[in-house]
Structure formats: C-alpha cells, structure tokens
Amino acid sequence: MLIPQAEGFRILGTLFSSSLFPYRAPSGQVTLTSYVGGTRAPDLALRPHDELVSLTVADLRVLLGVTGEPTFAHSVHYPRAIPQYELGYGRFKDLMNAAETQAPGLFFAGHYRDGISLSDSILSALTVADRIQTHLTPPA
Ligand SMILES: Cc1cc2nc3c(=O)[nH]c(=O)nc-3n(C[C@H](O)[C@H](O)[C@H](O)COP(=O)(O)OP(=O)(O)OC[C@H]3O[C@@H](n4cnc5c(N)ncnc54)[C@H](O)[C@@H]3O)c2cc1C
C-alpha cells in the first residue's frame, strides 16, 4: 500500500513481504516492510531505530488494525536511495547518451536511467547487455 501525503501518516507505504514471498515469516506471523522518510520527510528517516519502529507500529495500528508488538524489527537507512525523476531530468539522460556516444564502450544502466522499479532496472540491464554484446561482436 502507498499512502498519500494528505492522509497524514508518517510511513510512506508498506509491503506485505511474507504474502509476496515464501519463508519470510514464521508460521502464524507476518513480515511487513514499511518505508519512512523519502523526499517527503527525509529527516524522519534519521530517527533512532526504536523511534522508527514505534512510529511505524502506531501507523499500522490505525491502517491495518495491528495489535500487540513486533516479535522482530529491523531497520536500514538508505541515505540516497531512489533517483528522483523531477522535471528536467531528461537533461541527465541526454548527458548519459552524449557520454556513451563520445566514449564507445561506456554504458549506463540502472534505476537512474530507465525507471526506478526493479522490473525497469532488470530491463535496463538486459538492454545494456544486448548493446554490450553488439559492441563486442566483430562485424561479419
Ligand atoms: C528502500 C527501497 C525500496 C524499494 N522498493 C521497491 C519495490 O517495492 N518495488 C520496485 O519495483 N522497486 C523498488 N525499489 C526500487 C528498486 O529496488 C531499485 O530502483 C533497483 O533495485 C535499482 O537497481 P539498480 O541495479 O539500478 O541499482 P542498485 O540495486 O542500487 O545496484 C547498484 C549496485 O552497484 C553497486 N555499486 C555502487 N557503486 C559502485 C562502485 N563504485 N563500484 C562497484 N559497485 C558499485 C552497489 O553496491 C549496488 O549493489 C526500492 C528501492 C529502495 C531503495
């Protein structure tokens, strides 16, 4: 679930990790992955682990009706996690194209170029792998 800013919660969203993937939680329990911070509230992500867990659980109580306390909690801070495709980002893509043209054999791939989702990143890698293969294959 993604949570619009207007809703007034502190988490940005939650993945239902143990519903998506097997072996992510002991029997009778679930694993949820929630996101805090982002460009919406970058400083919130700097709060200590215990505070992050507490504010996340508080939001999940309202949103999902969660009761009780987590049996396990883990937090990771990604300081520069996801590229922001803001207005004008095309300039950076143009620069990457220009750099590749000027330096044959240099290739850019990843979430900063072809879209931020994991599937976009995989497609980006496959595309660049094809381009590298073409680059390395001598003309017949
Ligand atoms: C917290 C978070 C949650 C996300 N959730 C989702 C989601 O639910 N669904 C979804 O579709 N996408 C999600 N994304 C987005 C998606 O996961 C990423 O955009 C995608 O994984 C990016 O793939 P990538 O290969 O471009 O970059 P990365 O996965 O960042 O891989 C880059 C790799 O390069 C390595 N590296 C960096 N610099 C160097 C260097 N100088 N030398 C050698 N190695 C280097 C890094 O260590 C890293 O392993 C999420 C991203 C984050 C951060």
The domain locations on the chain are 5-64, 90-136
45-97 pLDDT, tens per residue? 999 999 999 999 999 999 999 999 999 999 999 988 889 999 999 999 999 99
Residue type, 35: Y
- Mean pLDDT over residues 17-36, rounded? 97
78 pocket-lining for ligand 1 (C-beta < 6 Å): yes
Rounded CA separation 43/39 (Å): 9
pLDDT at res. 128:
97
pLDDT of amino acid 80: 85
Taking the centre of ligand 1 as the mean of its atom positions, its distance from the CA of residue 129, in whole angstroms, is 17
Q: What is the pLDDT of residues 102-138, one digit of tens each?
A: 999 999 999 999 999 999 999 999 999 999 999 999 8
pLDDT for res 113: 93
User: What is the pTM for the complete model shown?
Assistant: 0.79
Residue with CA closest to ligand 1 atom 31: 110
Q: Are 32 and 14 in contact, with CB atoms under 8 Å apart?
A: yes
CA-CA distance, 19 to 127, in Å (whole number)?
31
pLDDT tens-place string over residues 30-44:
999 999 999 999 999
Contact 111, 85 (CB under 8 A): no
Pocket lining: 29 vs ligand 1, CB cutoff 6 Å: no
**Residues in Cβ contact with 112 at an 8 Å cutoff, skipping those fewer than 6 apart:** 83, 92
Q: 15 has which bridge partners?
A: 33
Closest CA to 127 of 98, 139, 115: 115
Q: Which residues are CB-contacts of 63 (< 8 A; sequence separation ≥ 6)?
A: 1, 3, 9, 14
Residue 99 pLDDT greater than 90, yes or no: yes
Ligand 1, atom 15, residue with closest C-alpha: 117
